[in-house]
Amino acid sequence: MNDLERIERIKAVLGERAAEITNPSPQRIFLTVPARTLVPALEQLKTELGYRHLSTISGVDLGDVFEILYHFGYDGGNLNIRTRIPKADPRLPSICAVIPGAVLYERELQDMFGIIVEAIPDGRRLVLPDDWPDGNYPLRKDWKHVRAAEKIPGGKS
């Protein structure tokens, strides 16, 4: 199936849930879905079109909003599903009911961006240490790293 046929099938299955769909290069499709319809859209893509292999989830801090990208692999190509949420209220539904392996990526979004993933089956920290200060999210643009003063044994005070 070529890209145009794949795009038409996605549009036919998702209807209005497909807010935008682009094909910037061969075998690379970007689909934008509103966050409120993310889970049902992924359920349809999985059951009706066979998109089951979630490669990863990535996040981008765009200032006032976060963009979350769900990267699905298929027969030599990639379907990248975008959704955006406001930074002021960073809430996102968990997709683990549809793709159980997403839990690790969702835990990473929580750690690194402070995104609240609702109904995540395991919300423990994944990347950061347990004693990491609350409210410090290293992949946010507004995060400032404060390095502790380094003490060199036998060095000048």
- Residue 12 phi/psi, 5° resolution? -65, -40
In a domain? residue 29 = yes
Query: Using H for helix, E for strand and C for coil, what is the string for the chain?
Result: CCHHHHHHHHHHHHHHHCCEEEEEECCEEEEECCHHHHHHHHHHHHHHHCCCEEEEEEEEECCCEEEEEEEEEECCEEEEEEEEEECCCCEEECCCCCCHHHHHHHHHHHHHHCCEEECCCCCCCCCCCCCCCCCCCCCCCCCCCCCCCCCCCCCCC
Give the chain's mean pLDDT: 94
Strands 20-25 and 28-32: antiparallel
In a domain? residue 87 = yes
In a domain? residue 134 = no
In a domain? residue 149 = no
Q: How confident is the model at residue 13 (pLDDT cuts 50, 70, 90)?
A: very high
In a domain? residue 76 = yes
In a domain? residue 112 = yes
Angle subtended at Cα 70 by Cα 136 and Cα 50, rounded to the nearest 5 degrees: 155
Cα–Cα dist 23/2, whole Å = 11
Structural domain containing residue 57: 3-118
What percentage of the chain reaches a pLDDT higher than 70?
A: 97
In a domain? residue 144 = no
What would the mean pLDDT of 22-31 be, rounded to a whole number?
A: 96
What percentage of the chain reaches a pLDDT higher than 90?
A: 83
In a domain? residue 102 = yes
In the chain, the number of structural domains is: 1
The domain that holds 102 is classified in CATH as: 3.30.460.80
Question: What token pair was written down for 99?
Answer: 């793709």
Q: How confident is the model at residue 157 (pLDDT cuts 50, 70, 90)?
A: low
Q: What is the pTM of this model?
A: 0.89
Is residue 138 scored above 90 in pLDDT?
yes
What would the mean pLDDT of 40-44 be, rounded to a whole number?
A: 97
Is residue 146 scored above 80 in pLDDT?
no
What pLDDT digit, counting tens, does each position of 58-113 carry? 999 999 999 999 999 998 899 999 999 999 999 999 999 999 999 999 999 999 99
